[in-house]
Amino acid sequence: MRSKVWERLFDGYRQRIELHQIDHKFCTNGRELDS
């Protein structure tokens, strides 16, 4: 039971990091296009 909770917490954490990295990539790409 405990490991299941940890697994879900870890999955959500990893997804958030991946989303943040994708967001950051788009931000840098947009800045490069502007200049």
CA angle 25, 26, 32 (to 5 degrees): 90
Give the C-alpha separation, 14 to 31, whole Å: 26
3-state SS assignment for residue 6: helix
Per residue of the chain (35 residues), what is the pLDDT tens digit? 679 999 999 999 999 999 888 887 877 776 666 65
Would you list the domain boundaries of the chain? 1-35
Q: C-alpha angle with apex 19: 30 to 4, nearest 5 degrees?
A: 175
Q: What is the pLDDT of residue 34?
A: 61
CA angle 26, 30, 34 (to 5 degrees): 170
